[in-house]
Amino acid sequence: MTVQGATTVRRAARPTIPRARVPVLVTAGLLVAMFVAGGLRYDGFASGQVVLNVFIDNAFLLVIAVGMTFVILSGGIDLSVGAVAALATMLAATLLRDGWPAPVVFPLVLGVGTVLGLAMGAIIHYFEIQPFIVTLAGMFLARGLCFTIGTDSIPINDPGFTALAYGRIDLGPDLWLSPSVLIAAAVVLAGAYTLHHTRLGRTVYAIGGNEQSALLMGLPVARTKVAVYTISGFCAALGGLLLALYMLSGYGLHAVGMELDAIAAVVIGGALLSGGYGNLAGTVLGVLVLGLTQTIISFEGTLSSWWTKIFIGLLLFVFILLQRIIVGRRE
C-alpha cells in the first residue's frame, strides 16, 4: 500500500462530525458552558430546580417555537404568532369571565388560531404573496382583535383554570414541574415524529430545500405549505393558552415580540432561515439558551432585562455567520 493510500484510509477511518450538526452541537456546548459558568458564579444556581424553572418559564415559547420550526423548515416565516398568542389569552380570559366552561373554551381558542394559520397559508400559496407580508398583516389583524375585545388586562379566576395553573408535578425533594411543561413536551414529541416519520415532514424538508424540485417530484406542495402555517397557528394559540396559565390573565400586550424570540430560538438551534435544514432538538436547545440567559441576568440582579436582547442579538450574529460558513462549504 502506498503512503497516499494509507493516508486516505486513515482519513476515512477517522470519525468526523457532519457539518450539518455543527450548529446544534455548538448550541448544546453553549448551554452547558452557560450553566457551568452560572453555577460557579452564583450560589444556588447549579440545582435541578433552576433547570426545571427554565422549562416552566418558557413552556409557552417552546410550543410557539415548534410551530415556527415547521414554517422555517419550509422556507417561510410567520410574524403573527405573538399576536395570535395574545389573542388566545384575550379570548380565553373573556369567555371564562363570561361563564363559559374551560373544556369548551380551550378547543374554541385552538380552533381560532388554527383557522387563522390556515387562512394565511392559503393566501401565501394560492395568491403567491410573500409570507413576510401575509403574516405581518395577520399580526396586525390578531393584535387589533385583541384590543377590540378589550384594552385592559382581564384576570382569570375560573377555578378549573387556576387549579391547572397552580398544579405541580413532584419529581422528588424540592423538584417539581408544571403541567404546561408536559404539554410542551408532548407537542415537541408530536412535532418531531411528524417531521421525521411522516410524509408531511419529508415534504416540508423537500420544499425548504428546493420547492421547484419538490413540485417536479410530484410532492403535495400546496397542501404542505398550507399545513405548516396551520400548524403554526395551532401552536401559537396553544402557546397563548399556556401563557394565560402562566400569567392568569388575558391582555392585548401579552407576547409582544415573541415571534422574534421564537425565530431566534429556531435559528440558534441550528435551522437555516432559507429552509430545508433543522430539527426540533435544536429548537429545544435554542429555547433553553434564551431561558437560561434570562435566568443568569435575574441572578446577577444588577443588569437590565434588556441585556437579554443584547446577548440574543450577538448570538444570532454568531449563528448566522456559522450557518453561512457551513452552507458555503457545502456549495
Of 13-27, 34-48, 199-213, 246-260, least confident by mean pLDDT is 13-27
Mind listing the pLDDT tens digit for each residue in 269-328? Answer: 989 888 988 999 999 999 999 999 989 888 887 777 777 788 888 888 888 887 777 655
Mean pLDDT of the 133-155 span: 96
> Has residue 111 got a pLDDT over 90?
yes
- Which class for 127: exposed (0-12), middle (13-18), buried (19 or more C-beta within 10 A)? exposed
Residue 272 lies in a domain: yes
- Residue 189 has a pLDDT of 98
> Has residue 10 got a pLDDT over 60?
no
Phi, psi dihedral angles at 157 (to 5 degrees): -120, 10
Task: Please tell me the total count of domains within the chain.
Answer: 1
CATH number, residue 124: 1.10.3470
- Residue 9 has a pLDDT of 46
The answer to whether 174 and 156 are in contact (CB under 8 A) is no
Residue 3 lies in a domain: no
Residue 15 lies in a domain: no
- Residue 12 has a pLDDT of 47
Residue 249 lies in a domain: yes
- Residue 231 has a pLDDT of 98
- Residue 311 has a pLDDT of 83
More confident residue, 8 or 190: 190
> Has residue 136 got a pLDDT over 80?
yes
Residue 186 lies in a domain: yes
- Residue 115 has a pLDDT of 98
State the chain's mean pLDDT as an integer. Answer: 90
- Residue 15 has a pLDDT of 53
Comparing CA positions, the residue from 217, 241, 237, 240 lying closest to residue 229 is 237
The answer to whether 151 and 103 are in contact (CB under 8 A) is no
Q: How far apart are CA 95 and CA 102, in angstroms?
A: 9
Residue 57 lies in a domain: yes
- Residue 179 has a pLDDT of 95
Mind listing the pLDDT tens digit for each residue in 268-285? Answer: 998 988 898 899 999 999
Q: How far apart are CA 241 and CA 118, in angstroms?
A: 19
Supply the pTM of this predicted model. Answer: 0.92
- Residue 300 has a pLDDT of 83
> Has residue 150 got a pLDDT over 50?
yes
- Residue 85 has a pLDDT of 98
Strand, coil or helix: what is 267?
helix
Mind listing the pLDDT tens digit for each residue in 186-223? Answer: 999 999 999 999 999 999 999 999 999 999 999 999 99
Residue 214 lies in a domain: yes
Mind listing the pLDDT tens digit for each residue in 37-81? Answer: 999 988 888 888 999 999 999 999 999 999 999 999 999 999 999
Comparing CA positions, the residue from 227, 252, 254, 225 lying closest to residue 239 is 254
Residue 126 lies in a domain: yes
The answer to whether 121 and 135 are in contact (CB under 8 A) is no
Q: Whole domain around residue 291: which residue ranges?
A: 21-34+48-330
- Residue 326 has a pLDDT of 65
- Residue 168 has a pLDDT of 92
